[in-house]
Each structure stands twice: as structure tokens, then as C-alpha cells.
Amino acid sequence: MIEAAVPCHKSRALFRIPDENYLGSFTPSCEPAAADPEAEVRRALADPIGGERLRRLAEKARNCVIICSDHTRPVPSRCLIPAMLEELRRGNPAIKITLLIATGCHRGTTRDELIAKFGRRIVETERIVIHDCLDDSMLRDAGVLPSGGRLILNRLALETDLLISEGFIEPHFFAGFSGGRKSVLPGIASRETVLANHCAEFIASPRARTGILTDNPIHRDMLFAARRAKLAFIVNTVIDAEKRIVRAFAGDPEQAHAAGVEFCRKQAHIEVPPSDIVITSNGGYPLDMNVYQSVKGMTAAEAVCRRGGVIIMAAGCSDGHGGESFFRALSQAGSPDEILAEVLARPRNATVPDQWQYQILARILREFKVIMYAPECPQEMLKAMKLDAAATPDEALKKAFARCGRDAKVAVIPEGVSVIPVKKPPKR
């Protein structure tokens, strides 16, 4: 019996798989974490890619906005932000700095979550503003996206002398990769702008997939938004399964991000044999705090699971479903096909909140059975959303084998959000 552990909430879920059914556990070929993460960030800041040092940029600015990730992202902000603040103030001790929390369309980050993210000293001494995509007083029109949607962004970002951001780079299930330009759109955009960018047409594009940037219509809009906002400098990291910094990339938003993407791509590519059952996760807390976010990990399993097979998703889901419209769309529809038909009939300018997420989940549910092991989430909620629910990992596997047969082959992808999985070609 093989015991396969996958991250779940703040611990791990243990799945016991018969030897004869087990295909393997497939993980990124990650380089070792930096022995001194602070030194790695300082190294990146001292040798920026494609531009001036941040301290030089600060010399020319009266004020600066740092776009920071929110509570749903495992960005190592405790390490990044102090180094960025120090670098800015080395260049200009008088510079006025605002930390702008990029919530996108998520709920606002709480004070306790800010302390957990940045540490108490920064929360108590720095100016922090939490973006609200619905607060018109915070927003300003910045033109038209390539897709035709209005580009409306947080006015603090548009009116500052120097706009920079922190973040991390990992495969993203429809933007290709996270990081870089994504801190602007969706990070500090209005809901109207996010909806236009996440329209059904773009989500359905075969180019809007994990690991793809070329000709990706969603990425194209995001890149335009970052340029229009005059994002001048980024500090992004690639992290390992324990959320530790492996490598830091700083400098020009496009060149530094491209370097980080290539580093990430080489590590994240995995080949997985075609599988009847795929067990995966979102890498644990905080990215598995709700069902909404958990869809991301499911797409890794979707890429390699045989049609009609079973995806077992381990996720804490301590925050429940993650979006009322997301929940309603799934619970009130008759079938995944009904959801997809309705969504694909909507034009770009008629996108509704959370549509992209339930569009992708419906795409998955149309082809696979999804069993959720979500110990922090009400089981009836999961069932209402057309997801099967299991109280234990053993129960999840029992249900999967009941559907796929006793000879079903099982692959484990412990970090579904950290990989670019492809089906391993059969031996000739």
C-alpha cells in the first residue's frame, strides 16, 4: 500500500493507494529553496533585469504605490516588502509610500490577515489601502482594453509618481502564468474591467490555458493594462511547495517576468501517464481556502485524467464556496451542459461575476466526476454544487474505485497549481 500525502488546509491529507493501482506522485523538479531568502531578494534588487535599480527610480519620485498580493496568495511578502521599502528609502528617504492590496474581486483582506502577511510592524507603521473593485471613489477610467472592455483601475495606482508591485510566478489556469502584469489586472481593476477580461469567449479559448502566454487573449489584456498603468518595476518570486523562496526576479515588469516565467516553466513541466483517477490539491492554505480557488488545482488533473475518470480534490475550503454567484450558478443549474450553454451565449460585455470560474468548473464536471475531500467545508454545500463529497481520503478513493473499477490507475499531483502537466506519450 502506497501512502500519498497531499497538502490540505494547514496540514496534509493521506491517501492510501494499492501498489498495483499507483502510477506515481508527480511533482515539479524544483531547485532547492534559497538558503537565505532575504539575501536572494536583495540580490535581485541589486541586479535588476532590464532596467534601473529601484533606488534610482525612487530618486525621481515624490510618492510610490506598491501593489501587494492579498490574503489568497502565498506571496512571501514578509520578505519582499521590507526589502522593497528599504530600497525605496535608500533612494529617497522622503518618498511617501502606500501599500495597495490587490484584492481583485475578492473580499477585503482583514487586519489579522494583513498582520499574518506582512508582520505587525509594517501593518502598524505603513500606509495600507485595500482595493475595492466596486468603490467608484477609488477608481478611474484608463481607456479601452484590446478586447474592447473599459480599463478602469485604482486611482492611487494611476496618480502615483512610481508604481511597482510584488508577487509570485506560478502556472495559472487561464492567464498562463501568475505574476507581473496580473497585479494590475485583475489585482487593482474595477469589477467591470475584470468581467470584460474574463469573458466566456476568452475563457473558452484553447490558448487561455496553463503555461500559455503566446496569443492568450486574457494575457494580452493584462499586459496592456500594466503598460497603461505605467507599472515600472516588479519583484516576483518562484516558491517551492513549502512556500519558500527559490529564486527572486526584479526589474522591468515585462523582462523580469519573462525571466521568471522561463525559470518556472522548466521546473513546472511534468509528464503524467494517462490516468483513471487523479488526486490533486491547491497546495494547501491559503490558496485552498474555498471551492472557488480549488478549481485551479482541478485543471491540472483535467489535463491528464481520462475522459469519464475521477478527479479527487483535497482542499480545506475553510471559507466555504468563495462566491455567492459562483455557488448559485452551480447549485441552481440542472447540469454542467446547461451552465456552459448559458455562459457561452453571453457576449463579452455581459459577463457576470464569477462566471469564468463556474464556466471552467462546468467544463471539468462535463467530462469528469469530481470528489472533494474538504474537511473544513459543509458537505451539503459541496453536493449542492454538483460535487461529490467525501468525509475522509479513504472514502474518496473508495468512491473513485467504485466508479472506475478495481483496476483503475491512480496518479497523484500533490501541487496542482504549481505544475504544467501533459499526458506522457505511450511507449512504442
Dihedrals phi, psi of 124, to nearest 5 degrees: -85, -15
Q: Is residue 32 part of a domain?
A: no
Report yes or no on 347 lying in a domain: yes
Q: Is the same domain home to 91 and 23?
A: no
What's the pLDDT at 28? 84
Beta bridge partner(s), residue 279: 312, 412
- 254 and 283 Cβ atoms separated by less than 8 Å: no
> What is the model's pLDDT at position 87?
98
Tens-digit pLDDT profile for residues 206-228:
999 999 999 999 999 999 999 99
Q: What is the pLDDT of residue 30?
A: 81
The predicted-structure confidence for 229-273, as pLDDT tens digits, reads as follows 999 999 999 998 888 999 999 999 999 999 999 999 999 999 999
Domain that holds residue 391: 2-27+273-423
Same domain, 337 and 316: yes
Model-wide pTM > 0.95:
no
Claim to verify: residue 70 and residue 186 sit in the same structural domain: yes
Do 11 and 141 share a domain, yes or no?
Answer: no
Which CATH number does the domain housing residue 191 bear?
3.40.50.11440
Tell me, yes or no, whether 249 and 326 share the same domain.
Answer: no
Catalytic residue among 106, 131, 198, 321: 106
Q: Is 257 a catalytic residue?
A: no
For residues 204 and 149, membership in a common domain is answered with yes
Examine the domain organization and report whether 280 and 315 are in the same domain: yes
Report the pLDDT value the prediction gives residue 287, as an integer from 0 to 100: 86
Does 386 score more than 60 pLDDT? Answer: yes
Residue 211 in any domain: the answer is yes
The pLDDT confidence band at residue 426, using thresholds 50, 70 and 90, is low
The predicted structure's pLDDT at residue 428: 55
Active-site residue, selected from the candidate residues 9, 71, 131, 172: 172
User: Is pLDDT above 80 for 425?
Assistant: no
Q: Is 106 marked active-site? A: yes
pLDDT digits (tens, 9 = 90+) for 24-54: 999 988 899 999 999 999 999 999 999 999 9
Last residue of a domain, one of 228, 248, 267: 267
Q: What is the mean pLDDT of the chain?
A: 95
Per-residue b or e along 287-313, where b marks 16 or more CB atoms closer than 10 Å to that residue's CB: bbbbbbbbbbbbbbbbbbbbeebbbbb
Q: Examine residue 288 and state whether it is found in any structural domain, yes or no.
A: yes
Is the pLDDT assigned to residue 427 strictly greater than 80? no
